[in-house]
Amino acid sequence: MTRLQDKVAIVTGAASGIGEAIARRLVADGAQVIVGDVQDARGQALMTELGDAASYRHCDVAREPDVRALVSHAAERFGRLDVLVNNAGIPGPGGPIQDVDADAFDVAIGVLLRSVFLGIKHAAPLMKRQGSGSIVSTASVAGMRTGFGPHVYSAAKAAVIHLTHSVAMELGESGVRVNCICPGGIATPIFGKGYGLTTEAADRSVPLMKQALSQLQPLQRAGLPEDIANAVAWLASDESSFVNGHALVVDGGLIGGRLWSEGLQRREALQAAMRSLAG
């Protein structure tokens, strides 16, 4: 496909997981992709694999100089930026609220929320001068419903969704669209990292997560990074040219409510109990 032919895109957190799938999909659709990450070895390897369509820049998304340099690289090398995907993320601290370390809170907010703000802040002037552009940030169903993630992660993702709504009202007037994706249960190494596994062990945990997540939603399979990449590619393209300020849920129906089969089992159990009383 060539629906992103001659487009220039930045993808943060693109050396692994969802970000890697997004980078691969945008290149397959014809875009020039700048990979931003702190995993230098993986980022360089991906750039080498993708060839001339990709370049890699070290970027700590919580640091403004790094994000500014990433956007400047696009402007200096290509003279434009058509797509920004704010994807970098970490699980953040878990556990009861009284056990959440304040420094860990700050780190999580830096990667999950501050990074999105910084990406939009530095991409906005360039895109506004062009009169076009698509900004897509990775939020989560955890930012829409409770119980799908740790407290800090969930709060940060909720903020990403609202920041998307708010900035879309500003940048839309300049022809720049701002949207976000809300993934459900996607089998990636981030779950393993959330349990304290090393990078290598977290990679090995993905098949286990596929199985664990397969029964979570009405569509009986785990979400895959490619599912999110497909949605991002659509939001990045002109096919979604009238979509702005939207939080696109890609979750297999997870936030729709209780599974029908679970509700049926409960109703049948209640009916049996009622019949026993009647007898």
Please tell me the total count of domains within the chain.
1
CA R_g for the chain: 20
pLDDT at 207: 84
Q: Is residue 71 part of a domain?
A: yes
Quick check: is 3 in a domain?
no
pLDDT greater at residue 270 or residue 137: 137
Lowest mean pLDDT among 33-42, 91-100, 163-172, 192-201: 192-201
CA angle 120, 123, 126 (to 5 degrees): 145
Residue 248 half-sphere exposure, CB side, CA atoms within 13 Å? 22
Length of the chain measured in residues: 279
Report helix, strand or coil for 237: coil
Residue 70 is assigned to a structural domain of this protein: yes
Judged against a pLDDT cut of 80, whether residue 199 lies above it is answered with no
Query: Range of 83's domain?
Result: 8-278
Q: Are strands 247-250 and 32-37 parallel, antiparallel or unpaired?
A: unpaired
Residue 92 lies in a domain: yes
Q: What is the mean pLDDT of residues 47-75?
A: 97
Q: What's the mean pLDDT when you consider all of the chain?
A: 93
User: Using 50, 70 and 90 to split pLDDT, how confident is the model at 240?
Assistant: very high
pLDDT at position 1 = 60
Interior/surface letters 243-263, b for 16+ CB within 10 angstroms, e for the rest: ebbbbbbbbbebeeeebeeee
8-state DSSP, 101: -
Tell me what percent of the residues of the chain surpass a pLDDT of 70: 99
Beta bridge partners of 86: 137
- pLDDT over 90, % of the chain: 78
- Looking at residue 34, its pLDDT comes to 97
Q: Which listed residue (56, 148, 153, 234) is catalytic?
A: 153
Cβ-based burial of 187 (10 A; exposed 0-12, middle 13-18, buried ≥19): buried
CATH number of the domain enclosing 63: 3.40.50.720
- pLDDT tens string 121-133: 999 999 999 999 9
Give a yes or no: residue 2 inside a domain: no
Which tokens in the block code for residue 11? 């993808």
To which H or E segment does residue 18 belong?
helix 17-28
Angle between helices 151-171 and 102-109 (to 10 degrees): 30
Given this model, what pLDDT does residue 279 score?
60
| Residue 153: active-site member | yes
What is the reported pTM?
0.91
Q: Under DSSP, is residue 217 helix (H, G, I), strand (E, B) or coil?
A: coil
